[in-house]
Chains A and B, each alone.
Chain A
Amino acid sequence: SAVISQKPSRDICQRGTSLTIQCQVDSQVTMMFWYRQQPGQSLTLIATANQGSEATYESGFVIDKFPISRPNLTFSTLTVSNMSPEDSSIYLCSVEVRTSGTRSYEQYFGPGTRLTVT
């Protein structure tokens, strides 16, 4: 398994400002992801955070709006830039762990960052 922490746990921000969310894992992981969960909805993948290279963004998400850093195998940041009320959501960091000696993968989520933009 993996223990994931995120900071901040929640924030209220004014439109037009930016917020950087940090994700820390207690072990080295290859695959790290950022998701968004809007109120009452399921999870949507924003991007895959790649160590040593640019993140891979999903359709509808762009680097200028959601820049991501991945300086090492245990840490990543997601910035929500030039925020608007539509960005109010829970942002979740996730990591994939492969169970040693098996074909089993487990993907774990951090506790999330609840963002409200006013």
Chain B
Amino acid sequence: GQNIDQPTEMTATEGAIVQINCTYQTSGFNGLFWYQQHAGEAPTFLSYNVLDGLEEKGRFSSFLSRSKGYSYLLLKELQMKDSASYLCAVRERGGGNKLTFGTGTQLKVEL
């Protein structure tokens, strides 16, 4: 089984940087995903990490430490449209490639 923890909500200022953390426990780690979900919409794929280190994609970066069971999503130059729920999901080895999702972090970007 898996246990995935994320903060429930965060607030940040437009133009700033915010880091959303995710910790997990799994019997056979095989990758970690980050998704963005606006209210009433489907989740949108942001990033996939399977090796330790930082993956950068424009304003969004994702970091993974497998030994610590830890990941974070870094959002730079925050914009109002970044207000959304951010979901961390872990893929388990031998689990048929299925994903287990955390409860999500609701990010509110303020002026």
Contacts and interface: CB of A to CB of B under 8 A. Distances in A.
Interface of A: 31, 33, 41-45, 48, 56, 58, 92, 96, 103-112
A58 B98 CA distance: 10
Interface of B: 31, 33, 35, 41-45, 48, 50-51, 87, 89, 91, 96-104
Given A33-B98, A103-B50, A108 B45 contact: yes
21 contacts: A33-B99, A41-B103, A42-B101, A42-B102, A43-B43, A43-B87, A43-B99, A43-B101, A45-B98, A48-B96, A58-B98, A92-B43, A103-B51, A104-B48, A104-B50, A105-B50, A107-B45, A108-B45, A110-B42, A112-B41, A112-B42
A42 B48 contact: no
Contact of B97 (A31, A42, A111): A31
Contacts of B103: 41-42
A116 B104 CA distance: 23
Given A43-B43, A92-B42, A105 B100 contact: no
Given A43-B87, A105-B91, A108-B45, 9 more contacts: A41-B103, A42-B101, A45-B99, A48-B97, A48-B98, A104-B48, A106-B45, A109-B42, A111-B41
A69 B94 CA distance: 23
Which 6 A-B pairs have CB atoms at the shortest separation, nearest pair first? A109-B42, A43-B101, A42-B101, A42-B103, A112-B42, A109-B43
